[in-house]
């Protein structure tokens, strides 16, 4: 994946809240297709994609596989002790570069990616009925921005405030190829996915059904 088809910014960046930017159509179809291919490989192993179990016995409706560091509620480890004990696949350098380009595009600042070094990715797969409740990404020991890439079916992405799961929030439709970045004052805002829009994706991406979301994050953890 060289990212050459990245950055078309079909709709231009839209500021949803200070620090939170939606860039529609940032990934071209070729780049999306390559992401789908590589995610399919990561979904197989070394740690297979799974529904994450929550401490109170619930199970997340999305399926998740991680790179670099394995996330389980509510911490990061190198090995997937709640799955098969294997070390997760490494975080590739090309994904670091993609993350940097994403920050440059979202913040319209050529220096925005300088020093950005994401070291974990959570790859979520949503079927038609999958959802994600309002939550904060707060298991990282870093305030570096979160870069979110979407491929496949569109969804309603609810982006809220840093105080509570409730209003005020903004509902944004994230379509295939869209980039969403949240950093600065928006870094610890509550967000979630109340609904996927089945059948809204582009089969040319290689994902005939469902939605793929990849978030790049900096854990702030040593090693």
Ligand X SMILES: O=C(O)CCC(=O)C(=O)O
Which residue lies nearer to ligand X by CB, 176 or 213? 213
Percent helix, percent strand, percent coil in the chain, to nearest 5: 15, 35, 50
Near ligand X by CB under 6 A: residue from 32, 120, 148, 176: 148
| Count of residues in contact with ligand X, rule CB under 6 A | 11
- The sign of the dihedral angle between the CA atoms of 63, 220, 118, 48 is negative
C-beta of 34: minimal distance to ligand X in Å?
19
Structure tokens at 3: 């990212």
Tell me how far CA of residue 91 lies from CA of 20, 57, 87, 120, 129, in angstroms: 24, 30, 12, 6, 29
C-beta of 137: minimal distance to ligand X in Å?
5
Judged by CB under 6 A, the chain residues 92 through 131 that form the site for ligand X are 122, 124
Near ligand X by CB under 6 A: residue from 16, 106, 121, 193: 193
Tell me how far CA of residue 84 lies from CA of 48, 70, 79, 160, in angstroms: 8, 11, 8, 35
Near ligand X by CB under 6 A: residue from 213, 216, 218, 219: 213
Q: Enumerate binding residues for ligand X (CB under 6 A).
A: 122, 124, 132, 137, 148, 157, 174, 191, 193, 213, 215
């Amino acid at each position: 994946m060289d990212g050459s088809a990245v950055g078309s910014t079909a709709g231009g960046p839209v500021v949803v809240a200070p620090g939170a930017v939606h860039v529609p159509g940032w990934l071209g179809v070729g780049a999306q297709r390559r992401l789908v291919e590589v995610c399919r490989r990561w979904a197989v192993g070394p740690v297979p994609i799974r529904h994450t179990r929550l401490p109170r016995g619930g199970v997340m409706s999305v399926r998740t596989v991680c790179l670099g560091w394995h996330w389980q509620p509510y911490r990061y480890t190198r090995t997937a002790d709640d799955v098969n004990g294997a070390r997760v696949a490494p975080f590739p350098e090309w994904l670091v570069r993609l993350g940097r380009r994403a920050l440059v595009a979202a913040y319209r600042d050529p220096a925005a990616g300088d020093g950005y070094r994401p070291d974990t990715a959570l790859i979520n797969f949503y079927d038609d009925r999958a959802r994600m409740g309002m939550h904060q990404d707060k298991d990282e020991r870093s305030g570096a921005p979160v870069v979110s890439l979407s491929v496949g079916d569109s969804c309603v992405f609810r982006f809220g405030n840093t105080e509570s799961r409730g209003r005020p929030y903004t509902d944004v439709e994230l379509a295939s190829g869209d980039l969403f970045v949240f950093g600065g004052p928006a870094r610890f805002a509550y967000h979630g996915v109340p609904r996927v829009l089945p059948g809204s994706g582009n089969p040319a991406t290689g994902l005939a059904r469902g939605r793929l979301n990849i978030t790049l994050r900096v854990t702030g953890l040593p090693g």
